[in-house]
Amino acid sequence: MHACGHDAHTAIGLGIATIMAQHRDTWQGTLKLVFQPGEEGQNGAEVMVREGALENPRPSVVLALHVWNHMPFGKISAASGPVMAAAEAFKVTVKGKGGHGAIPETTVDAVITATLTVLNLQTIISRNVGALETAVLTVGSIQSGDAFNVIPETAELRGTIRTYDTEVRARILDRLRTIVHSTAEMMGATANLEMMPVTPALVNDPSVTALVQDVARDLFGSEALDVTNRTMGSEDASFFLQEVPGCYVFVASGPEDYERRPHHSPHFDIDERALINGVGLMVETLHRLMPVREA
């Protein structure tokens, strides 16, 4: 089930727009409100940037938020630096020689080759990424064959890579290519690797984040602020933050039984008081960024 809180984000955005418009005499400058489409896989932010959403005029700061059911209501998470990972998808197509399952010696088994490839890929994180570095490599799909007694000619793997650091990413991609092709060669098969970049890492600007943290402390108290929370999930708002310094903040929205209601779960639900917190945090931050100058 695709349930993630984007209706809540729209409601918060409309709340910000309403209050800022009602109090136009209390701030100066230009405010752009972006209702970002296609966040889950379609890279709507990338399209918006390409089509000029950050031009005429160009903003000096970007603020963004996401409701966050991994924390109980009342918390605000704003961390400096990388907070969400770069993401890319990969597809490996293994081609062997099919045949009857009773005479495997006449075949080049694509299923065995694909299975060995999956196992070998697990060594990248455990042996090529340092213990103090951060990365994830997951194979989420294996597709091959449709009969119990036939060795298929091809097998397909699909997976994802998540990283914060560009050097770590390059190292993983290099090992991925080597393992995919060398495993296939070892088994007498061939392999084709396709890489599909999804989003860059989302990196919060230190000075903008410090301002958001100050606002969160003032509005909700120091105990409500989390400055360490990071996730290997990805978010295409990173395309905005690549262009303009800013802060992406998580507004905790978990109800009392939040552990039963994660994002993308059929049980997903939010504590709707998080809408008020999100609006308040953004409006106060905007007023501090764009105060009216005294004559």
Backbone angles phi, psi at 97, to 5 degrees: -135, 120
* Beta-carbon contacts of residue 130 (< 8 Å; ≥ 6 apart): none
H/E run at residue 69: strand 62-72
162 bridge partner residues: 87, 136
CA angle, 157 then 163 then 167, to 5°: 110
DSSP 133: S
Provide the Cα torsion 142, 156, 265, 258; round to 10°: 70
- pLDDT at residue 247, as a whole number: 98
SS3 content of the chain, % helix, strand, coil (to 5): 40, 25, 35
- pLDDT at residue 182, as a whole number: 98
Structural domains of the chain, ranges and CATH numbers in brackets: 6-84+201-289 (3.40.630.10), 86-199 (3.30.70.360)
pLDDT (tens, 9 = 90+) of the chain, 295 residues, equals 678 888 999 999 999 999 999 999 999 999 999 988 877 667 889 999 999 999 999 999 999 999 999 999 999 999 999 999 999 999 999 999 999 999 999 999 999 999 999 999 999 999 999 999 999 999 999 999 999 999 999 999 999 999 999 999 999 999 999 999 999 999 999 999 999 989 999 999 999 999 999 999 999 999 999 999 999 999 999 999 999 999 999 999 998 898 888 888 899 999 999 999 999 999 999 999 999 876 5
> Under DSSP, is residue 276 helix (H, G, I), strand (E, B) or coil?
helix
- pLDDT at residue 40, as a whole number: 65
- 3-state SS, 195-244, equals EEEEECCEEECHHHHHHHHHHHHHHHCHHHEECCCCECCCCCCHHHHHHC
* Beta-carbon contacts of residue 105 (< 8 Å; ≥ 6 apart): none
229 near 236, Cβ under 8 Å? no
CA distance 87 to 172: 12
Give the tokens for residue 54: 């950050």
CA distance 282 to 24: 15
- Write out pLDDT tens, residues 111-150: 999 999 999 999 999 999 999 999 999 999 999 999 999 9
